[in-house]
Amino acid sequence: MFWLAEGLVYRRQDSIIHSLDPRVKLIISFSLFILSLFSSTIFEFTILLFAIFLLGALSKVLRRMTKTITFSLTFVIMIFVINLLVGYDLIFSIIISLRFIAIISSSSIFFLTSSPDELDLVMRSLHLPYDLIFAFVTAVRFVPVILLDAVQIIDSQRSRGLEIEKGSIFKRIRNYIPVLIPLIVQSIIRSEELAEAMESRAYGFSKKRTSYYTLHFKRRDYLILCLHFMLVVLFILLVYFFHL
Amino acid sequence: METLAEIIKFINFSFSYSGSTTPILKNINLSIEEGDFVLLVGPSGCGKSTLLRCINGLIPHLYNGAYEGEVIVDGELVKNKNVNELATKVGFVFQNPENQIFMFSVEKDIVFGLENIGLERNEIDIRLKWVLHALGIEHLRYKPPYELSDGQKQRVAIAGVLAMKPKILILDEPTSLLDPRTALDFILLLGELNKKFGLTIIVVEHRIDLLTNVANKIIVLDKGEIVFKGLLKEIIKNKNLNLYGVGVPPVIALQNNLRDEDIIFDEVYLNVKDFAKEIKRRLI
C-alpha cells in the first residue's frame, strides 16, 4: 500500500533542484501546472512533459515520479476510454490524458523536492495566518504518529481474533470499524493533549508573532528563476504566436 | 502580607469539573517557596494532575468547573491571567513527550514558544543555544522528532519549555515512558536545573526512590485533600504513607522496620550508600 504515497512524499536528497529556495521550486512547479492546464496540442505536451521529466531527472526523483504516473495510469486509461466512448476523437482523448499526466507530474515536482519544513517557510513568507500554517504543520507532523497508532490497534484487535482480511468486500470494509473507532478516540485524546501543550507554550500569546526563520534568495535562485521565465516566455511565443 | 520567596500559594482552594458533583480538590492550602523541589504523590485519580493544571492556568481557562478560593503564582491571581501569559512564568511538561513536540525538528520546536511570545531573532538565538547546551542536546538540534528516543524526546520537551525561562517547572509523570536508567539520568538533570538556575520544580512521580536525592519537599494528596506536606526527610519516615498508596523506598522501609525493633538512627538515610556507611560505622 505504501508505495502509492511514495510519489508524493519528500525524502532527504541532494540535487541542484533540492537546494533551491522553496519559493523558486513552487513557482517552477506552479507555472508548469498552469501551462499544462492551458496547453491543447500534442506538440505542446511533448515539450512540457520533456521539461517536467528533465526537471525530475535533475532533481534525481525521476524514478519516484514515474511510480506516481504508473499508479495514475489507471485513471489515465479511464479518462481516455470515457472520452472515446462519449464520442470525442482519438487525438482529443490523447490530449486530455496527457494533460492529466502533466498536471500530476508537474505538481509532484514541488512535493518531491521540498520538505514539509520548507513548505512551512513558504507559507510564512506568503504571510498566511499562523493558525493555518500551524494546522498544516501539525497535520503532517502527526501522520507517522497516527499511522503507528493504527498499526498498534490493528495488532491488538487481531490478537483478539478480528480477521480483517476475510470475507466479501463489504465485510472487509466493516472489519475496519473496530480499528477506526479506537483510532478516532485516541486521536481526539491526543488533540486535547496537544491543545494543552500549545497553550502552555504561549500559543496565541502575542498578536505580533515573530519568526526566527526567513528565506533569502541566493544568486543561484535568481539565475534559475530568470532561466525558467525565459523558457516559459519562449514556449508561449512559440505556441501562441508562431503557431508551431 | 506574602513574602517574596513564596512563589505559589493556594488559599482555601476547591475545584470540581463541570458535570461532576464531587470536588476533585478540596480545601487546599499550600505554599511553595522559590527554589523548592517538590515531589507530589498520591494514588491515581487523587487530583494530582488537576492541582498542577491549576498552577499554570489550564484550570480554569481551558477546563470549566466550580472554582473556589484563590491560586496565586508569582504574586498574581491565576484566574486573571491567560494560560499563554502564564507560560513565561510556569513551564509545564506533560506525560507524553510525543504530544508536546509540534515541529519537524528539535530546533524549530524549541523556537516555537519563543516566536509565540514575540522575541527578536537575536534573543531567540541566544536562548536556543543556551537551552541546547543546558540540556546536553546540541547534537539533536536538526533531528526530526521521529528519530528521537523517548528519553531524548522528554529532554526536547523540557527544552521547549525551559527556553521560555519560566520560574517554575511542572512535570506530570515525566519518567513514566522511560526505562529506569534513562529515568534516573533525567531526574538528576532536574536536580541540576534546580540547583544551577534556582528553578522551582514540582514533579508528580510514582517512583519515589528516584527523587529522594533531589527533592526537598513532599506533598501527599488523597481523595482531593492534602494529607501530608513538608520536608521530604520528615515526611518520608511516617509509616502511614503506605496507607495512601505511596511506595516508600526500600531503604526507608528498612529503617522504619529497624526502628520498630528499637534500633534508632539519628537521621533518615535517603539512599542505600549513606545508610550502608552508617551501618558500617556502627558495626565497627
Residue contact B113–A134, C-beta within 8 A = no
Residues B85 and B1 in one domain: yes
Burial state string for A85-107 with b = 16 or more CB within 10 A and e = fewer than 16: eeeeeeeebbbbbbbbbbbbbbb
Out of A190, A199, A208, closest to residue B99 by CB = A190
Q: Are B109 and B154 in the same domain?
A: yes
User: Tell me: the pLDDT tens digits for B140-171?
Assistant: 999 988 899 988 999 999 999 999 999 999 99
Q: Based on the fold, state whether residues B82 and B102 are members of the same structural domain.
A: no
Q: Is residue B244 part of a domain?
A: no
> Which of A133, A205, A211, A213 to mutate against chain B (most B CBs within 10 Å)?
A205
Residue B213 within any structural domain of the chain: yes
CA B190 – CA B197 distance, rounded (Å): 10
Interface residue ranges in chain B relative to chain A, Cβ cutoff 8 Å: 53, 56, 58, 61-62, 82-85, 87-88, 90-92, 94, 96, 98-105, 108, 111-121, 124-125, 145-146, 160-161, 164
Q: Which of A117, A202, A203 sits opposite B88 (nearest CB)?
A: A202
Tens-digit pLDDT profile for residues A201-210? 999 887 788 8
Please list the ranges in chain B whose pLDDT falls under 70. 1-4
pLDDT digits (tens, 9 = 90+) for A106-165: 988 898 888 888 889 999 999 899 999 999 999 888 988 898 899 999 999 999 988 888
* Number of helices (H), then strands (E), in chain B: 11, 10
Do B120 and B261 lie in one domain? The reply is no
Q: How far apart are CA B171 and CA B188, in angstroms?
A: 14
pLDDT value of position A229: 94
Residue type, B199: L
Name residue B122's amino acid: N
Nearest to A201 among B108, B112, B119 (CB): B112
Residue B219 phi, psi (nearest 5): -125, 130
With left for phi above 0 and alpha for psi between -120 and 50, is residue A243 left, alpha or beta?
A: left
- Domain encompassing residue B278: 249-284
Residue B69 to chain A, least CA–CA distance (Å): 23
Interface test with B, best of A124, A130, A201, A216 (most B CBs within 10 A): A201
Query: Is residue B242, in this structure, part of any structural domain at all?
Result: no
Q: Is residue B243 part of a domain?
A: no
Indicate the number of domains in chain B.
Answer: 3
ipTM: 0.84
Which is more confident, A11 or A236? A236
Interface mutation vs chain A, best among B116, B125, B202, most A CBs within 10 Å? B116
Q: Which residue, B187, B119, B195, B123, is CA-closest to B155?
A: B187
Domain shared by B157 and B210, yes or no: no
Of the candidates B82, B62, B79, which has an alpha carbon nearest to the alpha carbon of residue B71? B79
Q: Are residues B178 and B273 in the same domain?
A: no
Q: Pairing state of beta strands B90-93 and B6-17?
A: unpaired
- pLDDT at residue A3 in the model: 47
| Chain A residues with at least one Cβ partner in B under 8 Å | 115-117, 120, 134, 137-138, 140-141, 144-145, 190, 193-206, 208-213
Tell me: the pLDDT tens digits for A162-221? 888 888 888 888 888 999 999 999 999 999 999 999 999 999 887 788 889 888 899 999
